[in-house]
Structure 1
Amino acid sequence: MEQAYNILLYYCYTQIEDPETFRDEHHELCLSLNLRGRIIVAAEGLNGTVSGLKADTERYMEAVKADPRFAHIDFKVEPYHKHSFAKLHVRVKPEIVHSDLHHINPNQRTGIHLSPAEFKKLKDAEDVVILDVRSNYEHAVGKFKNAVTLDIENFRDFPQKISELEQYKGKKIITYCTGGIKCEKASAFLLEQGFENVYQLHGGIIKYAIEEGGEDFEGKCYVFDGRVIADVNKVNPKVISTCYVCGTACDRMVNCANPDCNVHVPICEKCGWEMEGACSAECKSHPKKRPYDGTGYYVKESNGYNPFLNAKRAKKNQSAANCLTEEV
């Protein structure tokens, strides 16, 4: 299958003085390049994952890096055969990843960045602890061999688990996540709490897969696009999750067809069809149950979604401002 598209995963902690204006300009850039995806803009930086034709994503990366604020941004690039998103959303939020650690600036202090090659050499040492800082549903379907995982529903719960990590204070702790962004604040928080030997896998699981073949990552990597999960281990792959319904080995993630439940769990293909995409008999008979197409992935209702709408509003507001300036 021809891989005519690219999926980009990226983030950059940098100061953005006027996030609203930057959002409008960035939205226009993405529209001009026919990109789709989710992008978050905040005063502390930029975080995104988008898909587009290879030539368009190349132009996008060039345009972003041409801005001095993002000159050092690290794009993780994965070839794909189609758009991995149905829509484009560019939003302004308080943080580029929700952590509630607003006081931490990764540009001032954070864990030592390890390249994928350095991580591979160090990960099996006796004095090393590999710490997964992702949520339950992410590490349930895939994680590094022997990694320490935390029972958290969202990354903002991470600080509450610090007491569970006290036993590792004398060791080297290497944090990891999907693309590296959560580790920036997680590793900085560990340092703040008195942990001394703190490292992080630069570029996360995705970069490690691209550069080192994903060795010893067991299962699949949960991703935040239409793929839901991605194969990352080309060396010694292994399935670690089981079907939520029947218990057989399975790493196929499904959203329950009942939107009021919407639990995200592994469900094998056989049970998926038998349960019509539902995780239980109750959900299967629920009056709001969505039609199951074999994927278990449901695009949210568009409600008249128009990718140009916010761009038009921005232009309208600017025109109004120009008129007022001329009148004065």
Structure 2
Amino acid sequence: MYRVLLYYCYTPIADPEAFREKHHQLCLRLNLLGRIIVAPEGLNGTVSGLADDCDAYMAAVKADPRFDALEFKIDTAEEHAFQKLHVRVKPEIVHSELPVDPLVQTGIHLEPAEFRALKNDPDVVLVDMRSNYEHGMGKFTGAVTFDMENLRELPDHVAEIAHLKDKKVITYCTGGIKCEKASAYLLSQGFENVYQLHGGIIKYGIEAEGEGFDGQCYVFDNRLAVDVNKVNPTVISTCHRCGTPSTRMINCASPACNNHLALCEACGDAHAGTCTDACKADPLLRPYDGTGYYSKKPVGYTPEQGYRSRQRSKAV
């Protein structure tokens, strides 16, 4: 049995490149695949591997006192949820460009049980901090959503909830990382009672059965979407082509488009996995195999080769 680990931690890392090097080697030793971001502000990652390898990885990370506050969200899978291993240094562990520091100020963390008890309070408003294609697949009942592609656009949408400043605002996202900065930004804009769902939708599904989450949760790995709600599950996403309820999340087969969207099986077959007729006419259309997932095939790739290739490129 494989595991999928989702985690983040805001903590100063003085030499991100040196940390990245050692961390990459750790992942290689433990046969992990996934995406990890190292930045001066902390660590963010999603990896998959065999249960024993994931246990060893979690123990190694937690042995570093800088990551005392780090929590792993643990899911299971029948196989690796990724095809490659990437450990990269970036300016931020979640790209936002928001002028905030979660280590200085952020919204009050609510554990899943606390969130479950509060979410239906008439004095509470839930605010989804994810992108369009994510909340289009699933969201909490009654939550406010923004028409945005990424967190950098949040300042353009704050005015939409300005009239709710007297409410208790609870932000949420997939694993909690976006809310650390989003809730801090709301505080900087004059919102006073700002909270965030600690551990995000994934932890809420694990610890509180996902009650009140409609649809599925979009995830950034080969699975594309996962079930969260074990109490009162519903389907809210509809086929982009015909409008029927559908939980089939795909990438448009047109590489020029590549949009994330719901497409039912019948429309996927009838329209070659595309979201519009214009996309269907794309001369570079990718062959639709029924999955709508078009990751680059790792022909001849091994994580060790990827690591050596990176070392060669650094030496040039």
TM-score bucket (shorter structure): over 0.9
| Cα separation, partners in 2 of 1:316 and 1:238, compared to 1, 3 Å | closer
Give the match's secondary structure for 1:190: helix
The 2-side partners of 1:185 and 1:314 are apart by 31
**Is 2:212–2:232's contact at 8 Å kept on the other side of the alignment?**
yes
Give the match's secondary structure for 2:60: helix
Q: 1:172 aligns with which of 162, 168, 171?
A: 168
TM-score normalised per structure 2: 0.96
Q: 1:307 aligns with which of 278, 303, 308?
A: 303
1:106 aligned onto 2:102: yes
How many aligned residue pairs are there? 315
Counting only pairs closer than 5 Å after superposition, residues 88-127 of structure 1 correspond to structure 2 as 88-101=85-98, 103-127=99-123
Please name the residue that 1:326 is paired with.
none
Please name the residue that 1:46 is paired with.
43
Identical residues among aligned pairs (%): 62
The 2-side partners of 1:17 and 1:46 are apart by 12
The 2-side partners of 1:198 and 1:204 are apart by 15
Which amino acid in the other structure matches residue 88 of structure 1? L
Please name the residue that 2:137 is paired with.
141
1:68 aligned onto 2:65: yes
Q: 1:256 aligns with which of 233, 252, 269?
A: 252
Please name the residue that 1:323 is paired with.
none
The 2-side partners of 1:157 and 1:304 are apart by 39
Which amino acid in the other structure matches residue 73 of structure 1? L
1:28 aligned onto 2:25: yes
Give the match's secondary structure for 1:58: helix
Q: 1:268: Cα distance to partner?
A: 0.3
Please name the residue that 1:272 is paired with.
268
Which amino acid in the other structure matches residue 158 of structure 2? I
Deviations 1:287-323 (A, max 9, x none): 21111111101112558755224643787899x9xxx
Q: 1:162: Cα distance to partner?
A: 1.3
Which amino acid in the other structure matches residue 63 of structure 2? A
Give the match's secondary structure for 1:308: helix
Deviations 1:244-295 (A, max 9, x none): 1111111211101111111111000111112121222332232211111111
Q: 1:203: Cα distance to partner?
A: 0.2
Gaps of at least 5 residues in structure 1 are 321-328
The 2-side partners of 1:46 and 1:121 are apart by 30
1:188 aligned onto 2:184: yes
1:9 aligned onto 2:13: no
Please name the residue that 2:74 is paired with.
77
Worse overlay, 295-304 or 165-174: 295-304
**Is 1:218–1:240's contact at 8 Å kept on the other side of the alignment?**
yes
The 1-side partners of 2:119 and 2:156 are apart by 25
Name the larger-Rg structure.
Answer: 1
Q: 1:296 aligns with which of 292, 299, 303?
A: 292
**Is 2:83–2:298's contact at 8 Å kept on the other side of the alignment?**
no
Deviations 1:118-171 (A, max 9, x none): 000000001100000101110011000000001111111012211111111000
TM-score normalised per structure 1: 0.92
The 2-side partners of 1:245 and 1:190 are apart by 36
Which amino acid in the other structure matches residue 195 of structure 2? Y
| Cα separation, partners in 2 of 1:314 and 1:37, compared to 1, 3 Å | closer
**Is 1:24–1:311's contact at 8 Å kept on the other side of the alignment?**
no
Which amino acid in the other structure matches residue 252 of structure 1? R
Which amino acid in the other structure matches residue 21 of structure 2? D
State the 4+ residue runs in structure 1 displaced beyond 4 angstroms.
301-306, 313-318
Gaps of at least 5 residues in structure 2 are none
**Is 1:87–1:307's contact at 8 Å kept on the other side of the alignment?**
yes
**Is 1:106–1:185's contact at 8 Å kept on the other side of the alignment?**
yes
The 2-side partners of 1:174 and 1:94 are apart by 27
The 1-side partners of 2:96 and 2:146 are apart by 15
The 2-side partners of 1:108 and 1:303 are apart by 45
Give the match's secondary structure for 2:82: coil
**Is 2:170–2:197's contact at 8 Å kept on the other side of the alignment?**
yes
| Cα separation, partners in 2 of 1:110 and 1:287, compared to 1, 3 Å | same
Deviations 1:194-217 (A, max 9, x none): 111000000000000000110110
The 2-side partners of 1:44 and 1:181 are apart by 12
